[in-house]
């Protein structure tokens, strides 16, 4: 079952993308974007995993003997999480603006001309 983590990443990505494509509400769209972004965390961590190895934290000295998983992808995931959080905050701020100006939250309604 070694492909399962990769399959999970793919599933999260496509489920999120499906949500964005069919979204009828801008806040729902931001949540879907969050789901999509979490697929990258799963993918990064899955790539760096080594069977039977510990976390790359050597406080107790244990992993020095056993070996540790890849620390670089973990640091990249940290960056990824921070970026996704601030991106969500920024988009939500835009959503508030859109709502204030047009009173609409359905992305399909936004393009339509005012009558």
Partner 1 sequence: MSPRVRLGLFGVSAAVLACLFVWALTGLPQFGAFRGEYGRILNSAAGPERHVTNVVSAVTFDYRGFDTLGEEVLLFTAVMAVALLLREARSGDERRADAVRSDVVRAVGLFAVGPTVVMGLYVAAHGYLTPGGGFQGGVATASGLVLLYAAGRYRAYRAASPKTLIDFAEGTGVGTYVVVGLAGIVVGGSAFLENVVELGVKGTLASGGTIAILNAVSGLAVASACVLIFHEFLEELMTAK
Q: Which residues bind partner 1 (CB under 8 A)?
A: 2-6, 10, 13-14, 17-18, 21-22, 46-52, 55-59, 63, 67-75, 78-79, 81-83, 86-87, 89-90, 92-94, 96-97, 100
Question: Which among 77, 86, 25, 38 has a CA at the least distance from the CA of 56?
Answer: 77
The nearest distance, CB 110 to partner 1, in angstroms, is 13
Q: What's the rounded Cα separation, in Å, for the pair 65 and 13?
A: 36
Of residues 42 and 114, the one with the C-beta less far from partner 1: 42
Q: Could you tell me the two tokens for 27?
A: 């806040």
| Region of 68 on the Ramachandran plot (φ > 0 left; ψ -120 to 50 alpha; else beta) | beta
Question: Nearest approach, Cβ of 2 to partner 1 (angstroms)?
Answer: 4
* CB closer to partner 1, 39 vs 115: 39
- Smallest gap from Cβ 46 to partner 1, in A, equals 6
Check: CB of residue 19 under 8 Å from CB of residue 29. yes
């Amino acid at each position: 079952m070694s492909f399962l983590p990769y399959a999970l990443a793919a599933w999260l990505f496509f489920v999120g993308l499906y949500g964005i494509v069919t979204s009828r509400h801008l806040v729902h769209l931001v949540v879907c974007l969050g789901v999509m972004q979490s697929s990258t965390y799963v993918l990064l961590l899955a790539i760096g995993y080594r069977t039977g190895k510990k976390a790359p934290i050597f406080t107790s000295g244990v992993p020095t003997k056993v070996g540790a998983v890849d620390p670089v992808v973990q640091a990249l995931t940290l960056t990824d999480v921070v970026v996704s959080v601030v991106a969500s905050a920024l988009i939500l701020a835009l959503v508030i603006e859109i709502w204030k100006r047009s009173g609409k939250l359905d992305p399909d309604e936004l393009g339509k001309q005012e009558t």
